[in-house]
Amino acid sequence: MSQDQLLLGEERRPRRSLTPALTGSVFVACMGALQFGYHMAELNAPQEVLMCHGPLDPAYADTWWGRHGWDQCLHLNDSQYGLVTSIFSVGGLVGSLCTGSQADRYGRRPAAIGSSVLAAMGSAAMVFANSYAQLLVGRLIVGVGCGGGIVVTSLMLNEMAPTELKGALGALNQTCINLGILVTQLLAFAWANSVQWRLLFLAATLVAAVHCALLLGVDESPRWLAANGDEQGAERVLRRLRAGDGAETAHELREWRRGREHEAAGQCSSLRRYMQDARYARVRGVVAVLLMGQQFCGINSIVFYGVKLISGALPELSIAVNFGISVVNLIVTLTAAGLVDRLGRRPLLQFSAAAMAVASTLMAAGILLNSAAVLVVCTFAYIMFFALGFGPIPFLIIAELSSPGTAAVAQSYGIALNWVATFIVGFGFPILNKLIGGYVFAMFGAFAAFMALYVRHRVPETRGKHDYREVWQGF
């Protein structure tokens, strides 16, 4: 039996595969996802304060902010607040569309640094915003940075991970998004008031700055180095990332070389070309439905407006309940990280969507029947089911469904569509909620049921597959 066959056939031990260099690189890469989650939820808790609806502390005039002319609140109306919330998605769309090609041209690390610089600039603008327009511009810039950052994070995790850890490390993307949401909710306990709300944005500025500094100390993606002709550099990085005597490193480099030779004519770094080329139609379709479907199941109605949603049933406990939801989301996503490689992508996606359909429909019943218990319990259940499958898997599966030459542009394409759907849900949910009330969650439930059927009939399994051709073979 050849050395390659031994490598492909032996039972791998993930504990030996997670080297210190790989752990450090994954940690730094995941800070992009953490920022994404943080900014997704940063306006949830301080909504009433920003709109000047909450109690205003008269001592504000004596604080540093008050003495230097920064307003205590910004007098936003409902439509302005909705636009500030959803403009993040517009920026994210721009960032995700632009970053894939830049990551292919200049490398994953420079693209990640550029994204974090934009996130830091936008966050700083929000810290010192003294008007609706200034807050809007800052939030837009943050969105561009986070849109680019989430594209690069997904690419880096996929390209650094050994085959047996691709699912687990890929799921860390969503785990860190949820961690960012949780950190926001935790800080909101202390800072979502009329005196300290700007500190929520200041903390985000500091995180982005730290991320930029740490990125300077990590290696470029070995797969990007190999694809751009630097096989010596790729081998050097792989030897740091991989455990063992170097046999697996040599095998990976040979597999990458074979893949490049096979698809040399299929290299695609242009989004327009990717969208027009019939060879990619099947992958495009699956990526589009999964990434938009993730949002149309309704998750960001809770991430963006969870405090306001729960306050209708439990006004005194809405922030605490929302924090509990974020904790459950993080814990279950961590559990899912270990299940993705053990159970496979398709079974988890199917179960997740079907269970969300039931939970979302019961949430609608809880709202319509004015039952706080049903609403809260089913909201927790919905978040758990989302975190088990449709939270982490859509982002990690894009690269697994795509050829190496199209992975970056496919990632940009999928995440761009995800941003479009995020904007639609973020902007449209308050309107629909006002028009039809709890029935909006029945709509989300119906779409989740559709997604369960779609996954069953249209999405191939990628677990344990070493090549995209193997993924689509016979499907």
In a domain, residue 342? The reply is yes
Question: Given this model, what pLDDT does residue 416 score?
Answer: 87
Whether residue 13 has pLDDT greater than 60: no
DSSP 186-215: HHHHHH-STTTTHHHHHHHHHHHHHHHHHH
Which has the higher per-residue pLDDT, 426 or 440?
440
Residue 235 lies in a domain: no
Question: Residue 316: its pLDDT value, please?
Answer: 78
Residue 232 lies in a domain: no
**Are 327 and 182 contacting, i.e. CB atoms less than 8 angstroms apart?**
yes
C-alpha torsion 108→112→118→121, nearest 10: -150
Tell me the pLDDT band of 467, cut-offs 50, 70 and 90: confident
Per-residue model confidence (pLDDT) at position 266: 53
Residue 350 lies in a domain: yes
Residue 226: inside a domain, yes or no?
Answer: no
Determine the distance from the C-alpha atom of residue 336 to the mean position of all C-alpha atoms in its chain, rounded to a whole number: 15
Is residue 150 one of the residues assigned to a domain?
Answer: yes
Q: Which residue has the higher pLDDT, 391 or 336?
A: 391
Instruction: State pLDDT tens for residues 22-48.
Output: 999 999 999 999 999 999 989 988 888
pLDDT of 1 higher than 80: no
Which of 139, 42, 127, 136 minimizes the C-alpha distance to 95?
A: 139
64/86 Cα distance (integer angstroms): 30
Q: What is the pLDDT of residue 96?
A: 86
Q: Does the pLDDT of residue 405 top 80, yes or no?
A: no
Of 416, 443, 419, nearest in space to 429 by CA: 443
233-243 mean pLDDT: 85
pLDDT (0 to 100) of residue 125: 97
pTM summary value:
0.80
Residue 150: pLDDT above 70? yes
Whole-angstrom distance, CA of residue 350 vs CA of residue 389: 8
Paired tokens of 264? 């040399």
Query: What whole-number distance in Å separates Cα of residue 94 and Cα of residue 81?
Result: 21
**Structural domain count of the chain:** 1
Tell me the C-alpha to C-alpha distance, in Å, between residue 36 and each of 208, 380, 455.
Answer: 11, 22, 26
Q: How far apart are CA 260 and CA 75, in angstroms?
A: 56
Is 283 a residue whose pLDDT tops 70? yes
**Domain extent at residue 375:** 14-218+263-472
Tell me: pLDDT of 257 over 80: no
User: Is a pLDDT exceeding 90 seen at residue 198?
Assistant: yes
367: which 2 tokens?
A: 């709202």
Evaluate whether 287 touches 153 at the Cβ level (below 8 Å). no
Q: Which of 395, 399, 173, 391 is nearest to 283 (CA)?
A: 399
Residue 215 amino acid letter: L
Q: What is the mean pLDDT of residues 136-160?
A: 93
With CA atoms as reference, report the closest residue to 29 among 158, 209, 164. 158
Nearest-angstrom CA–CA distance, 276 and 270: 10
Structural Rg of the chain based on CA atoms: 22
Highest mean pLDDT of the ranges 252-256, 280-284, 443-447, 456-460: 443-447
Looking at the predicted structure, is the pLDDT value of residue 459 above 90? Answer: yes
* Model pLDDT, residue 115: 97
Domain presence at residue 249: no
User: What's the mean pLDDT in 371-381?
Assistant: 94
- 401 has pLDDT over 60: yes
Most confident residue range from 9-18, 50-59, 169-178, 339-348: 339-348
Q: Give CA 296 to chain center in angstroms.
A: 15
- The overall average pLDDT reported for the chain is 87
Task: Give the integer Cα–Cα distance in Å for 146 and 35.
Answer: 7
What pLDDT was estimated at residue 12? 43
Give the confidence band of 116 by pLDDT, cuts at 50, 70, 90.
Answer: very high
In a domain, 225, yes or no: no
How many whole angstroms separate alpha carbon 143 and alpha carbon 115? Answer: 10
What's the CATH code of the domain at 199?
1.20.1250.20
